[in-house]
Amino acid sequence: MKKAVFLFLGLFLVLYLSAYAPVLEFPKEINYQGMLTTPLGSPVPDGSYSIKFTIWSHETSTSASYKKWEHTYSPVTVTNGLFNVRLGEGAPINLPFTEEYWLEIQVGADPALSPRTKLTAVGYAYRSLVADYATSAGGGGWVDDGANVRLETIGDEVGIGTTSPNYKLDVRSSIGIGSSSESGLLELYQAGASDPVIEASPDGSMGGLIRLYDEANNIMISAEADGNGEGGWFGVRRSTSSYGFTVDANYGGTKDPYVNIDGSSRDAIFNMSLSGNSSVQLPSDAIYDYEILDEPGVASNKDGSSQVTLTGATQTLLSRTITCPSSGYVLVIGTAQPQFNHVKGTSTGGTFGVSTSSSSFPVNQDVLVAIPSSAEDGTYYSAVTVHGLFSVSSGNNTFYFLADKYSGGTVYVFDMQLTLAYFPTAYGGVVSTKIAGEPDVPDDQALEAPAITDADVTAEQAEAEAFNTARLERELAEIRARVEALEQEQEGQDQ
């Protein structure tokens, strides 16, 4: 069974008036457009169909007294489901249109479609012509004043592709504005405003343009075709005269995007037509790319299933290599649990430390852990943690967790852990752990030093502030040089 979808681009009234004929003698015809679909909603096959139209003066009754006009049109050409028929052609519609009428449609031998369609003001324009030459339309429905066609009834709704519109204009299909010979313009207004808030129009010969306005009719958002022939351009203003965010998807014809975030005193630029650091330009006090690329990292090693017996020579408990992306600092931490088999009368102990050498301790890394000679015979356990901060260069850097038997009975080492943490930046003064270059003074010969005073703390604070100021100045100088290079490159592209 077929069903019809009524397009109602209008039951357009076509009146043919002769300059020499009385008003009552003009033919009465209604141009009707519709769509035939299958029960599943798809258009019927292209071809010729027989369609009968009947006008009733009752919405549902089939009594012959209510049948006012009918005519079968055959063949009716249907293409993509669409057809057009001029009702009244071959069978004039001689009705006064002084009462309500409904149109019924029947396709071939199928039952008549239901419900019937109520004829609105289009058909009733006949009555105004018969009565008073259309000098008054009666204040309702569709009215043609010779220059404009308008819908005067404020409560009416117009449906295109639907018999049940939900809005003043309800379109269930595509809309075309303009043509190949005339540009179109779409404007959306806000109640109470004299200017549009949204506007869609052609942008000269470059393509389409969409603009959003604020309440004072200032452009706030623009989207348009790119002036380089491909791609698009998008901008959001931060004020009436300045853009705060723009995207050029085909910057300079490179087919690479360019994003600019432009503040009142700071901006950020992302230029994908460039490579490396040049592709990103951040505010001068933003995070530095050096710190992003050379982010902190860690490495570690452990052994919790075996023991090492100290022999009296420097031994490596664990080692680990870390690959540093640039120069910086590595914090090295070693932890272990030594076991001392002690005999009273002689102290039993071992030294522990971390180092960049597998055979020698830095001067402050020979940390002694011992059981005093006066302790009773027995097995003693302890925990040891040593750490150092080493200056490193980029590339592989290997560190060792060392131990050495100091004296006395047997010393075993269990549960060993070596952890490395790389940091690219110092934010204060750094005194690195060194393997050479400093005197190695035995612990029992170390000179006594006084405790740090308030003056010493103040001096250290000043040193840290000076260090950080120098770091910032160095990084800012590098950023300025990079910005200058970007500007020169940009000027070269603009020429």
The answer to whether position 65 is within a domain reads yes
| Residue 488 forms part of a structural domain | no
Q: 150 and 268 share a domain? A: no
Domain boundary among 432, 465, 480: 432
Tokens of 70: 């009918």
Burial class (CB in 10 A: 0-12, 13-18, 19+), 26: middle
Q: Describe the strand order of the beta sheet including 186-189 as a list of residue ranges.
A: 186-189, 196-202, 208-213, 219-225, 232-237, 243-248, 258-262, 267-271, 280-281
Residue 294 CA to residue 394 CA, distance in Å, equals 10
Q: Which residue has the tokens 């491909």?
A: 230
Taking CA atoms, 6 is separated from 88, 100, 114, 380, in Å, by 18, 19, 12, 99
Does the residue 473 lie in any domain? Answer: no
Q: How far is CA 277 from CA 215, 292, 473, 482, in A?
A: 41, 11, 19, 8
pLDDT in tens, the chain (495 residues): 444 444 333 333 333 333 233 333 444 678 888 888 887 778 889 999 999 999 999 999 999 999 999 999 999 999 988 888 988 888 888 887 778 899 999 999 989 988 898 876 454 444 333 333 222 234 456 776 667 777 777 777 888 888 888 888 888 888 888 888 888 888 888 888 888 899 998 887 778 899 999 988 999 999 998 877 789 999 999 999 899 999 999 998 889 999 999 988 888 999 998 887 788 888 876 765 555 556 788 999 999 899 999 998 999 999 999 988 888 999 999 999 999 999 999 999 999 999 999 999 998 888 999 999 999 999 999 999 999 999 999 889 999 999 999 999 999 999 999 999 999 888 888 888 876 555 666 666 556 667 778 887 788 778 778 877 887 788 788 778 877 877 777 676 655
Q: Are residues 198 and 285 in the same domain?
A: yes
Task: With respect to residue 422, please indicate whether it lies within any of the assigned structural domains.
Answer: yes
Euclidean distance between CA atoms 368 and 354, whole angstroms: 13
CA 259 to chain centre: 13
Domain-embedded: residue 288? yes
With contact defined as beta carbons under 8 Å apart, do 310 and 297 qualify?
no
Q: From residue 47, how far is each of 50, 107, 111, 226, 242 by CA, in Å?
A: 10, 13, 20, 45, 59
Residue at 493 is within a domain: no
Q: How far apart are CA 276 and CA 318, in angstroms?
A: 39
d(C-alpha 298, C-alpha 333), whole Å: 11
Supply the pTM of this predicted model: 0.42
User: 25 φ, ψ to 5°?
Assistant: -100, 0
8 Å CB contact between 5 and 164: no
475: helix, coil or strand? helix
| Neighbouring C-alpha atoms within 13 Å toward the C-beta of 29 | 16
The identity of residue 361, as a single letter, is: F
Tokens representing 389 are 């901060």
d(CA 82, CA 324): 73
Q: What is the CATH number of the domain that holds 396?
A: 2.60.120.1340
Looking at the fold, whether 26 and 112 belong to one and the same domain comes out as: yes
| Token representation of residue 461 | 């604070």
Based on the fold, state whether residues 346 and 425 are members of the same structural domain. yes
- End residue of a domain, out of 171, 200, 215: 171
Pull the structure tokens for residue 402: 């060392």
Same domain, 252 and 141: no
- Tell me the chain's radius of gyration from C-alpha atoms: 46
Domain shared by 157 and 232, yes or no = no
Residues 62 and 155 grouped into a single domain? yes
Beta carbons within 8 Å of 65's beta carbon, 6+ residues apart: none
Report CA-CA distances (Å) from 333 to 352, 386, 388, 403: 11, 6, 7, 14
Instruction: Tell whether 24 is covered by a domain.
Output: yes
Residue 282, both tokens: 């951040």
Domain closes at, from 270, 292, 314? 292
What the block records as the tokens of 26 is 């003009």
**Which single residue is written with the structure tokens 């000043």?**
462
What is the 8-class DSSP label of residue 393?
A: -
Verify that 361 and 288 share a domain, yes or no: no
Query: Are 254 and 279 within 8 A, CB to CB?
Result: no
3-state helix, strand, coil in the chain (%, to 5): 15, 40, 45
Residues 281 and 311 in one domain: no
Nearest to 7 by CA among 40, 43, 61, 54: 43
Shared-domain flag, residues 195 and 308: no
Number of domains forming the structure of the chain? 3
DSSP assignment string, 301-362:
EEE-S--EE--SS-EEEEEEEEEESSSEEEEEEEEEEEEEEE-TTS-EEEEEEEESSSS---
Which residue range is the domain that position 231 belongs to? 186-292
Examine the domain organization and report whether 332 and 423 are in the same domain.
Answer: yes
Whether residue 399 is contained in a domain is answered as yes
Same domain, yes or no: 287 and 335: no
Give pLDDT, residue 400. Answer: 94
